[in-house]
Structure 1
Amino acid sequence: MENKFTSFLVLLLCFVINLVNSEYYHSESIVSMAPHNSVAHLHFYYFDIHTGNNPSAIVVAQANQTTLSPTFGNVYAIDNPLREGPEETSKIIGNAQGLYVSSSQNKDDVTLTMYVDYAFTYGEFDGSSISIISRNPVKEHTRELTVVGGRGKFRMAVGFAEIRTHFLNVTTGDGIIEYNVTLFYY
């Protein structure tokens, strides 16, 4: 009985010491209780192109049955360029590779579920990437996606991406999306 009580006291003491030693980071009022020691803010544009001779997003599977939404169940494979600016001539700083699924049955609601690795090939974070697995309700003006990991300088990253549609052709599906990403990493 005494060993259990002693173990409990040691755990409680460790918890209290951790709370007392937690640091406050003043970067947009972020309180950190995790051992991440670096914060990065990234800004780039994601080009999702479905048309032309060299599309960067293509349908690789689709549902067999008709639903209210004509795209529900479509699976897209992507290799989308990431650029410094919204112009097609802007410098490419990386690419986003992965999949997204049209996941809403409602024809008035376009929602994608994304499983994407954003790899950077230029600048300070060359050779590093972040992974986003999140729901993307496309019709909302500003959306927030979850960063669930990374590699290279972003190993063990967590964070979020605030995204906005810069351009969208609703007929073709071609779009340019602005990303503002906040990352916590080691």
Structure 2
Amino acid sequence: MMKSGIITLCLALCLTVAVTASSDSNNYYYGKTKPANLKEEKVTRVCFFLHDILSGQNPSAVRIAHANLTGSEDSPVGFGSLFAIDDPLTVGPEKDSKEIGNGRGMYVSGSKNMDKFMIVMYVDLAFTTGKFNGSSISVFSRNPVAEEPGGREVSIVGGRGKFRMARGFIKIKTHQIDMKTGDAVLRYDATVYHY
């Protein structure tokens, strides 16, 4: 009698745990859908300079991988090269211009033909001072570097802080480039739609 009572008690405890676990898991899968009370959409235009420095003792961009078959070891941006970046964002193009943030992420050289040079980039452009301190713009886009006349356009796919739920585009123009080292100063004119 004692054995059957213990077995019944164990089965009852197992059943209780199983029912409790299954009812709790339903609450974690999804919540109730409510209508979004979004504020009116705003558009913000921001202009700044990004310094992508591959050379020297303290580069802001470093090659972390490259393909063995697609160019020489000394090519600064050969096809298939992958770079990690922590580029300063400044108010002006000068090296000592006021720093307002940083661009962190990666880009890969995505074209074999240098006449049609293109990179694919993921960069989080974070602002560390001023009105947008603590906010950022997320870019994930093809960047057709060779299409310079008039600037080239990349996509804004998100953001944080004051740029939460951002979308839009950035016109990029090369302000200065050193073809030997790959060092570049780029002007970013961002048009950001956000709430």
- TM-score scaled to structure 2, two decimals? 0.75
CA deviation after TM superposition for structure 1 residue 140, in Å: 1.7
- Where is the helix percentage greater, Structure 1 or Structure 2? 2
Q: How does 1:83-162 map to 2 (within 5 A)?
A: 83-141=90-148, 142-162=151-171
- Match for 2:58: what amino acid? N
Secondary structure (helix, strand or coil) at the match of 1:153 reads helix
Residue 67 (structure 1) shift: 5.7
Q: Structure 2: which 5+ residue stretches go unaligned?
A: 1-37
Q: CA deviation at 1:114?
A: 0.5
Are residues 1:57 and 2:64 paired? no
Q: Bigger CA drift: 74-83 or 139-148?
A: 139-148
**Once superposed, which parts of structure 1, at least 4 consecutive aligned residues long, lie more than 4 Å away?**
none
- Aligned pair count reads 152
Would you say the 8 A contact 1:67–1:105 is kept in 2? no
Using the TM superposition, give the Cα deviation of residue 36 of structure 1 relative to its aligned residue in structure 2, in angstroms: 5.2
More strand by share: 1
Aligned residue number for residue 177 of structure 2: 168
Tell me if structure 1 keeps the 8 A contact 2:115–2:146: no
CA-CA distance at 1:53 after TM superposition = 0.8
In structure 2, the residue matched to 1:43 is: 47
Distance 1:140 1:35, change over 3 A: farther
The answer (yes or no) to whether the contact 1:51–1:174 under 8 Å persists in 2 is yes
Shift of 1:162: 0.5
Change (3 A) 1:82 1:67: same
Q: CA deviation at 1:130?
A: 0.6
Preserved CA contact (<8 Å) 1:36 1:184: no
Counterparts of 2:88 and 2:71, CA distance in 1: 32
Q: Secondary structure at the match of 2:70?
A: coil
CA distance in 2, matches of 1:107, 1:38: 39
Contact 2:70 2:80 in 1 (8 A): no
Which secondary structure state, in structure 2, belongs to the residue aligned with residue 149 of structure 1? strand
Q: Deviations over 1:129-186 (max 9, x none)?
A: 0100111111222100000000011000000001100000011000000010000101
5+ residue gaps in structure 1?
Answer: 1-33
For 1:160, what is the secondary structure of its paired residue?
A: strand
Measured against aligned partners, the alpha-carbon deviations of 1:30-62 in whole angstroms (never above 9, x if no partner) come to xxxx97521100000000000111000010000
- The residue type paired with residue 49 of structure 1 is I
SS of structure 2 residue aligned to 1:145: strand
